[in-house]
Amino acid sequence: MGPNLGAVGASGFGHATINGCVIDSPNNRVLATVSGSSDMNVGGNYDIVMAFDLTTGNRTVISGNWTDPKTGDFTTGNGPAFGGVGGIQPAPGGGYYVLSATTGGSQLFQMSPSGDRSIVWDGTLGAAGACPYPNDTTFHTDIYGAFAVGSNGTVYVTGGNSFAVYTIQNGKCSVLTLDDSTDPSLNHGKGPNPPAAIADALMTPTGGLFANDGNVGGGALYQVDTTSGSWTLVSNAQAGVGGGANVGIGGVMTFSKGLLWTAGNGMRSVDPVSGNRTSYPAPTNIEAGPPVEGVGCLQPFPNQSYFVVSSSLGGDFDALLLFEPSSGLSMVLSY
């Protein structure tokens, strides 16, 4: 079964939330950032990276500090501790980047395949590498979730409660896109229908940077130019951009077979060229499988027609599911 961490560990009180994930195909596993609390009778919070076997669903803690309600406190991997873990992406040259929230701001960790951790960017308020954002100092604690990594190693982080994209290179943060700064000299890039915030960012294999505004019911998809910071509106049903299903495009995104995918109460795909949308409803009865909702993890299963997706199952405990959009069927991989 694996470590007993809330429902992700199959039992116990408290909660467990999957915040991001990435497929590790050579090792037949998905790596996910998990945060929550252990059994209430023992206590202890955790922010860790776990590995889930894609065949058995068995779980292994790869990195971080955690409490097993049965056996006590553990630390896996060397280096500074994670704060609140958010997104996870492959890092150039091997290992993984993990974006983490800590007191006063955000930090980008590089995690080795063995789970050792080092801080490669310190974005806490007042740090030399912090992002410029004079409107709202809480921005520094709002960017720990979504980010993307370019082929040249540039990291793109989204801007908390503003339409903003920042680049991180060599431990420094710079403005790529910013729409509503009270300091006009910091605004960068132009485009239509700017949203109030960005929920997720995705870099496609061809180098396109896409972002959405997080509105599952009526969200929009944007493409951001990685040089100028300007943006185009790719798809939005409410604005009449792109055809197909009248659905939103908010939430966590992934890329598979030439399409952008997002999930939450089922799944949706978007053609990044035409903006056309297709909706794939969630299971509607117990025979079809558990619901797809409260999604923090979404990745295509290697060489298959289904996806690995996390679901809150309507409660405090996240599970990893396998969901096939074409059939609408789901099944539990690990819970």
Which among 58, 37, 101 has a CA at the least distance from the CA of 316?
37
Q: pLDDT tens digits, residue range 139-195?
A: 444 555 678 999 889 999 887 667 888 899 999 988 898 887 777 777 889 998 887
In a domain, 230, yes or no: yes
Specify the 3-state DSSP secondary structure of 185.
helix
Q: Quick one: pLDDT at residue 328?
A: 87
CB 186 within 8 A of CB 174: no
**Mean pLDDT score of the chain, rounded to an integer?**
83
pLDDT at residue 142 in the model: 53
The boundaries of the domain holding residue 139 are 11-47+60-280
Structure-block tokens of residue 35: 């945060």
Average pLDDT over residues 98-110: 88
Judge whether 54 lies within some domain.
no
* pLDDT of amino acid 8: 45
Residue 225 reports pLDDT greater than 90: yes
The CATH number of the domain holding residue 107 is 2.130.10
pLDDT for the residue numbered 6: 40
Whether residue 157 lies inside any domain: the answer is yes
SS3 state of residue 8: helix
Percent of the chain's residues with pLDDT above 70:
85
Residue 244 lies in a domain: yes
Residue 114 lies in a domain: yes
Residue 97 has a pLDDT of 96
Q: How many domains are there within the chain? A: 1
Q: Is 123 among the domain residues? A: yes
Residues 6 or more apart in contact with residue 319 via CB below 8 angstroms: 7, 8, 290, 310, 311, 313, 332, 333, 334, 335
Residue 270 in this model has a pLDDT that exceeds 70: yes
Residue 297 lies in a domain: no
Does the residue 293 lie in any domain?
Answer: no
Q: What is the pTM of this model?
A: 0.89
